[in-house]
Amino acid sequence: MSASATPRVLVARAVFDEVIERLRQYFEVRHNQGDAVWPQDELIQRLQGADGVFVTGTEAIDTRLLAACPQLRAVCSMAVGYNNIDVAACTERGVLVSNAPDVLTETTADFGFALMMAAARRISESEHFLRAGRWTRWGHDMFAGGDVHGATLGVLGMGRIGQAIARRGALGFGMPVIYHNRSRLAPEIEVRLGARYVAKDELLRQSDHLVLVLPYGPASHHAIGAPELALMKPTATLTNVARGGIVDDAALAQALRERRIAAAGLDVFEGEPAVHPELLTLPNVVLTPHIASASLPTRRAMAHLAADNLIAALGAGPQAGKPPTALNPQVLGVTR
Ligand code: DGY
């Protein structure tokens, strides 16, 4: 970008109109408000000449794209998860990367809790039964599931969202909370959350309701597969609001079919938007299309945070040069 030219940015997916308008105050904006599906070659072509790109958690920003878009200076995502962005490759090329943490924490925790409760209390399964006109009379054990209050809540991945889920369980539902994480929380945080650190195997063995909230990457690929599912209680539920690929969906489908665990709640899938075909046929799994952060206020906040980052990363606006949630601020010579 030359010092005098207006920077150009591309917004790769449809987003709130007000966000486009905000970006227009600073940049020449190309957008995709029709939300067309752009294969990577088309994204590359549309990025020619762009100084920055606004993305979501679905566009692959990899070495191929970066090599084909040498002018790119900033990749700003409205998602908190950034496994679609090769941050190391961006850093090597001096491309600023940002994500959108914090603003979605409570909304995502609400949804994780709701999905866990829906699985435990068989809400989706019983609703289908009712809608199908099969409800003819009350029954003493009809759709009897597991309790949530007082049951042991297990959290795998105790970052911001994991802690928000733990807080809901401990304070709202009187649940003993156990967790496993790459690093143990500070003792005062454990005390505040009423959460006890355990080894992963113990977490699997003891949890009545296990919620996955860990980031996805090579280290967490299939963190829950057949061997892990085999350790869980037959009455347990498994909820995933993190990323597809953390769970081996084929192994989970088999465990659910054989009732080796009671139920699951899944918002994310391996290879989504495709869903393992067997999961679609099982009654004891609640399936939602990656919407854990999808309250309107939160999605707006996520989009505005990505815009804040893009504006600042390209040297404009009140935070010029200091994108608030940069993942590699060193490329701008900024220390957070
Ligand atoms: C996130 O922010 O990472 C959500 O999963 C949406 O992609």
**Ligand 1 close to Cβ of residue 81 (< 6 A):** yes
Query: How do beta strands 195-197 and 263-266 pair?
Result: unpaired
Asked whether 161 and 268 are in contact (CB, 8 A), the reply is: no
- Whether residue 116 contacts residue 265, with contact meaning beta carbons closer than 8 Å, is answered with yes
Q: How confident is the model at residue 1 (pLDDT cuts 50, 70, 90)?
A: very low
Query: For all residues of the chain together, what is the average pLDDT?
Result: 97
On the question of a common fold for 8-103+296-332 and 105-287, the answer reads yes
Structure-token match 């980052």, residue found: 309
The CATH code for residues 8-103+296-332 is: 3.40.50.720
Q: Whose CA is nearest to atom 3 of ligand 1?
A: 81
CB 330 within 8 A of CB 93: no
Is the CB of residue 29 below 6 angstroms from any atom belonging to ligand 1?
Answer: no
Kindly list the domain boundaries of the chain, sorted by start residue.
8-103+296-332, 105-287
User: Do 20 and 29 contact (CB within 8 A), yes or no?
Assistant: yes
From 54, 84, 104, the mutation candidate for ligand 1 (largest count of ligand atoms within 8 A of CB) is 104
- For 18-72, write each residue's pLDDT tens digit: 999 999 999 999 999 999 999 999 999 999 999 999 999 999 999 999 999 999 9
Q: Mind giving me the DSSP string for 54-79?
A: EE-SSS-B-HHHHHH-TT--EEEESS
Cα gap 161→148, rounded to integer Å: 19
- Cα(80) to ligand 1 centroid in Å equals 5
CATH code for the structural domain at 105-287? 3.40.50.720
At 236-280, the pLDDT tens digits run: 999 999 999 999 999 999 999 999 999 999 999 999 999 999 999
pLDDT over 50 (residue 336): no
- Whole-model pTM: value is 0.95
CB 73 within 8 A of CB 54: no
User: Using omega within 30 degrees of 0 as the cis cutoff, is the peptide bond preceding 273 cis?
Assistant: yes
Name residue 287's beta-bridge partners: 266
Give the rounded percent of residues in the chain with a pLDDT score beyond 90. Answer: 97
Q: Is residue 79 lining ligand 1, measured as CB closer than 6 Å?
A: yes
Report CA(205)–ligand 1 centroid distance (Å). Answer: 29
79 Cα to the center of ligand 1, angstroms? 4
Could you tell me if the CB of 57 is within 6 A of ligand 1?
Answer: yes
**Residue 333: which pLDDT band, with cuts at 50, 70 and 90?**
confident
Query: What number does the ligand 1 atom closest to the CA of 78 have?
Result: 2
Atom 4 in ligand 1: which residue has the minimum CA distance? 79
Band of residue 142 on the pLDDT scale cut at 50, 70, 90: very high
pLDDT at residue 334 greater than cutoff 80: no
- Give the pLDDT confidence score for residue 107 in this predicted structure: 98
Is the C-beta atom of 329 inside 6 A of ligand 1?
no
Q: Would the CB of 244 count as within 6 Å of ligand 1?
A: no
Closest CA to 96 of 315, 322, 313: 313
> Does residue 64 contact residue 40 with C-beta atoms inside 8 Å?
yes
